[in-house]
A and B are shown apart, each in its own frame.
Chain A
Amino acid sequence: MREKLQTIMRFGPIERAEHLFLLVSFTTLAITGLVQKFPESSLALRIIRFLGGIENTRTIHHISAIVLSLLAIFHVFYVGYKIYVLKRPLTMLPGLKDVRDAVGLLKYNLGLSPRPPEMDRYNFGEKIEYWAVVWGTLIMAISGYMLWNPVLTTRILPGEFVPAAKMAHGYEAILAVLSILIWHVWHVHIKHFNKSIFTGRITLEEMEEEHALELKRILAGEWPPPLPPAQERWRRAVRYLPLAGLASILLLIPTYYIFTEQTAITTLPPAPVEKAYLPAKPPGLPTATPAPELAMEIPKQRALPSPEPMPIASHPVDEARAQCNACHAAFSYIDPAPLDHAEYEVNECTTCHQPANAKEVSQ
Chain B
Amino acid sequence: MAAGWVLLLVLGLMLIPGVARAQGDEDARPSNEQCLVCHEEPGLSMVLPSNEVLPLSVDPGILARSAHGHDAVEEVRCVDCHNDLSAYPHPPFPDVDFRTWQLKLSLVCGNCHEDQAIDRQESIHARLIAAGKFEAASCVDCHGSHDVFWVNPEKHEVDRMDQVDACARCHRTIADQYKLSVHGQEALKGNPDVPVCSNCHPAHKIQDPRSPEFRLRSPELCGQCHADEALMSKYGISTDVFDTYVADFHGTTVQIFEATEPGVYTNKAVCSDCHGAHRILPPTDVNSSVMSANLVKTCQRCHPDANENFTESWLGHYRPDWHRYPIVTAVQWFYYLIIPVTLGFFTLFVGTDIFRTLKNKRSRKKPRPGDGDRDSGGGEDHA
Binding site for B on A (CB under 8 A): 2-3, 36, 39-40, 45, 48-49, 53-54, 102, 105-106, 108-111, 114-119, 147, 150-151, 153-155, 157-164, 166-168, 171-172, 174-175, 178-179, 182-183, 186-187, 191, 204-205, 208-209, 212, 262-273, 275-291, 295, 298, 300-302, 314-315, 326-327, 329-334, 336, 339
Contacts and interface: CB of A to CB of B under 8 A. Distances in A.
Which of A153, A290, A332 lies at the interface centre, i.e. has the most chain B CB atoms within 10 A of its CB? A290
Given A39-B259, A53-B264, A272-B278, A115 B368 contact: yes
A2 B377 CA distance: 11
A115 B327 contact: no
Given A286-B102, A288-B145, A300-B51, A269 B301 contact: yes
A48 B252 CA distance: 13
B53 A298 contact: yes
Given A150-B310, A179-B343, A295 B177 contact: no
A297 to B, nearest CB: 10
A277 B144 CA distance: 19
Contact of B346 (A150, A182, A336): A182
Given A159-B310, A280-B172, A212 B369 contact: yes
Contacts of B357: 191
A163 B267 contact: no
B10 A315 contact: yes
Contacts, number: 284
A270 B315 CA distance: 23
A314 B145 CA distance: 30
Contacts of A283: 99, 135, 137, 141, 169-170
A311 B57 CA distance: 23
Given A279-B169, A281-B169, A315-B10, 13 more contacts: A110-B352, A164-B331, A168-B331, A178-B339, A265-B303, A273-B173, A276-B171, A286-B102, A289-B146, A290-B57, A291-B55, A302-B53, A331-B49
B319 to A, nearest CB: 11
Given A163-B320, A270-B301, A39 B256 contact: yes
Contacts of A175: 335, 338-339, 342-343
A187 B346 CA distance: 11
B356 interface: yes
Interface residues of B, number: 110
**What are the 5 A-B residue pairs with the smallest beta carbon separation, nearest first?**
A159-B312, A162-B313, A288-B147, A171-B335, A109-B352
Given A117-B369, A209-B368, A186 B278 contact: no
B344 to A, nearest CB: 10
A362 to B, nearest CB: 13
Given A164-B331, A284-B99, A186 B354 contact: yes
B302 A288 contact: no
Interface stretch (B87-95, B109-117, B186-194): B87-95
- Kindly name the residue among A160, A166, A186 whose own CB sees the greatest number of chain B CB atoms within 10 A: A160
Nearest to A168: B331
Contacts of A110: 352, 355-356
A53 B261 CA distance: 7
B369 A109 contact: no
A323 B259 CA distance: 69
B55 A278 contact: no
Contact of A284 (B98, B171, B320, B347): B98
A108 B356 contact: yes
Interface in B349-375: 349-350, 352-357, 367-371, 374
A266 B55 contact: no
Given A191-B353, A283-B135, A278 B171 contact: yes
Contact of B265 (A168, A172, A268, A270): A268
Contacts of B368: 115-116, 208-209, 212
B302 A265 contact: yes
Interface in B55-70: 55-59, 62
Contact of B47 (A151, A285, A289, A302): A302
B75 interface: no
Given A266-B267, A339-B49, A163 B315 contact: yes
B260 interface: yes
Contact of B353 (A109, A153, A263): A109
Given A2-B381, A272-B277, A264 B267 contact: yes
B309 A154 contact: yes
Interface in B177-232: 177, 210
B309 A155 contact: yes
Nearest to B261: A53
Nearest to B13: A327
Given A164-B328, A172-B335, A183-B350, A154 B306 contact: yes
DSSP majority for the A interface? loop
Contact of B310 (A115, A154, A174, A278): A154
A150 B269 CA distance: 16
28 contacts: A53-B260, A102-B349, A108-B356, A109-B356, A116-B368, A151-B303, A154-B310, A154-B313, A158-B312, A161-B313, A162-B313, A163-B248, A164-B328, A182-B343, A212-B368, A263-B303, A273-B277, A278-B170, A278-B173, A280-B168, A280-B170, A290-B57, A291-B55, A300-B51, A315-B10, A326-B89, A327-B89, A336-B47
A124 to B, nearest CB: 10
Interface string B254-296: 0111011100110101001100111000000000000000000
B309 A159 contact: yes
A116 B265 CA distance: 61
B311 interface: yes
Contact of B307 (A154, A277, A291): A154
Contacts of B93: 331-333
B325 A163 contact: yes
Nearest to B269: A269
B6 A315 contact: yes
A306 B265 CA distance: 60
A212 to B, nearest CB: 4
Contacts of A36: 252, 256
A273 B178 CA distance: 11
Contacts of B371: 115
A102 B141 CA distance: 82
B257 A54 contact: yes
B53 A295 contact: yes
B350 A182 contact: yes
A288 B144 CA distance: 8
B256 A159 contact: no
